[in-house]
Amino acid sequence: MFLSLPLLCAYSVFLLSFWRARDDLHLSLPWDVAMIGGFGAFFFLLTLFTFTGRPLPFPFFDGKFFLSLHRWLTALFLGFLAFHIGAIVVTDPQILYDFWPSGTPGMQFGALAAFLAMLTPGLAFRRVWRRLFATAGIFRISHVILASAVLGGSVFHIVTTRVHVVLSWQVWACVSVAAVALVLPATERWLLARVTVRPGWRRRIHTRHLAGMLAGVIFCAATIETAAFLLWRR
Amino acid sequence: MAAVRIRRALPLFLTAAGIVLLFGAAVLGHRMTVARGQDIPLVFHHRAHGGFNCVTCHHDFLKPVVTPAVHRTCIACHKATPAVASVIHDQFHAFCVGCHLNQQEQNRRAGPVHECRACHVREAGSPGHGHLH
């Protein structure tokens, strides 16, 4: 549970940074709810680049914990994404016009990113990737390419739709956060190769259930925090 | 050996090529159809904008034209002009939204800013469907 606090702190900073501008929009509550669902999805997408499934030195748990956490965070990301899309389509069905070829590139890139976001975990099922990819290494490279496309499409969507991320510093912050997320997995590997483990220390085993609990706590706390934040900002 | 290499490289190539194709098709489709894509149903209340100077919107107000004004629409002209056809969506939205935001900042009554259904509605008998009059 020690991970839930830094994650929720990061979520708070994330919301405060990207939800500041354009209070004069006077968007209806369903619109704001749908938008903040999208922000939540983007946050959990970023956490997927932090917890890639590869064991980290902190917490000193076995690999199953990190793999399970990655899966749970994927579920949260897809849940928030489905909520974001569903809520906005129900609120404003006219938004579907944007998915026609003559619609805005920002919306179309968002739709493509959402499609790839659903495809990527589908290809990551063990039975599927073993049939499609010769080795685990090739699967991982393909997974990284797809995930990067999802992140790139999402950032383009957020920046070009110009709903809440409109100020130049917000745009640069959003792009910078995405750029850091892209290089984070490689940086983690580089750091891990240089971390010295104290002799005698062993990774704690049988911790897979803790990942589920952590995801549950983060989900509940993030939902409550989002609702409170939305009421405060309105 | 070559077959093994192809077997290994093919999924990676297909993944990258698929992503490029998907996003490329979106951009290409947008560029090809934006000038003749279907208009979203739209109602523009001309009377509600009667307090503003005509040339604010009608930038060609003083230009001599052959076509009678009733047959001319903003969108039709912008679509027929290659220089602005590709940015028609962003341009019209920025124009309307920018003005509405300015009004809001001055604590005046203003039109919608971001909600689609506030402008893009299909009212029975309205002549404004798909046209800015």
pLDDT digits (tens, 9 = 90+) for A43-86: 999 999 999 988 887 777 888 998 999 999 999 999 999 999 99
Q: Which domain holds residue A82?
A: 4-19+28-194+217-233
* 3-class DSSP assignment, residue A204: strand
In angstroms, the CA A30 to CA A88 distance is 8
Using an 8 Å CB-CB cutoff, list chain A residues near B115.
Answer: 27-28, 31, 92
- Contact between A98 and A104 under an 8 Å Cβ cutoff? The reply is yes
The answer to whether residue A171 sits within a structural domain is yes
Chain B closest CA to A15's CA: distance in Å? 20
Report yes or no on A149 lying in a domain.
Answer: yes
**What sign has the CA pseudo-torsion B46, B51, B57, B61?**
positive
The domain segmentation of chain B, as residue ranges, is 1-33, 38-133
**Residue A8 — pLDDT band, cuts 50, 70, 90?**
confident
Put simply, the answer to whether A149 touches B19 (Cβ < 8 Å) is yes
Asked if pLDDT for residue A162 goes beyond 50, the answer is yes
Return the residue matching tokens 């290499």: B5
- How many angstroms separate the first and last alpha carbons of chain B? 68
Residue A206 within a domain:
no
- Residue A229 pLDDT more than 50? yes
Mean pLDDT, chain B, rounded, equals 76
Asked if B59 has any chain A CB less than 8 Å from its own CB, the reply is no
Question: Could you read off the pLDDT of A93-120 as tens digits, one per residue?
Answer: 878 878 877 777 888 999 999 999 999 9
A148 membership: H or E segment, kind and range: helix A136-161
Provide the shortest C-alpha distance from residue B68 to chain A (in Å): 28
Buried b (16+ CB within 10 A) or exposed e, A89-105: eebbebbebbeebbbbb
> Which range, A2-11, A80-89, A127-136, A162-171, has the best average confidence (pLDDT)?
A80-89
CB A207 within 8 Å of CB A62 = yes
Indicate if the pLDDT at residue B41 is higher than 80: no
Instruction: Kindly tell me if the per-residue pLDDT of B18 is higher than 70.
Output: yes
> What's the pLDDT score for residue A176?
93
Residue A157 lies in a domain: yes
- B22 interface with A at CB cutoff 8 Å: yes
Q: Which residue of B has its CA nearest to A129?
A: B11
A134 contact B CB<8A: yes
Report pLDDT for B65: 65
Distance (Å, whole) CA A145 – CA B13: 10
Find the range with the poorest average confidence among A168-182, A206-220, B61-75.
B61-75
Cα–Cα distance for residue pair B34/A11, rounded to 1 Å? 38
pLDDT of residue B54: 81
- A43: CB partners within 8 A, 6+ apart: A10, A11, A14, A222
Percent of residues, chain A, with pLDDT higher than 70: 96
Is A204 a member of any domain?
no
| Residue pair A160/A8 in contact by the 8 Å Cβ criterion | no
Q: How many Cβ atoms from other residues are within 10 Å of residue A167's Cβ?
A: 13
Question: How many pairs of residues across A and B have Cβ atoms under 8 Å apart?
Answer: 85
Tell me which H or E stretch contains B51: none
Percentage of residues of chain B with pLDDT beyond 90:
8
Could B38 and A95 be called an inter-chain contact, meaning their C-beta atoms sit closer than 8 Å?
no
Question: Which of A225, A217, A226, A215 has its CA nearest to residue A83?
Answer: A226
What pLDDT score does B130 carry? Answer: 38
| Number of domains comprising chain A | 1
CB-CB neighbors (< 8 A) of A134 in chain B: 4, 7-8, 11
Query: Scanning the structure block, which residue is given the tokens 């509405």?
Result: B100
- The CATH architecture one would assign to domain B38-133 is Alpha-Beta Complex (3.90)
Is A202 domain-assigned?
Answer: no
Q: Rounded to whole angstroms, what are the CA distances from B52 to A42, A86, A148, B64?
A: 41, 38, 47, 22
Say yes or no for a CB contact (<8 Å) between B38 and A100.
yes
Nearest Cα to Cα of residue B40 among B92, B81, B5? B92
SS3 of A215, please? helix
Of B19, B30, B117, the CB nearest to A145: B19
Range among A98-102, A139-143, A168-172, B34-38 rated most confident: A139-143
pTM value?
0.81
The two three-digit tokens of residue A93, written as one number: 């069905």
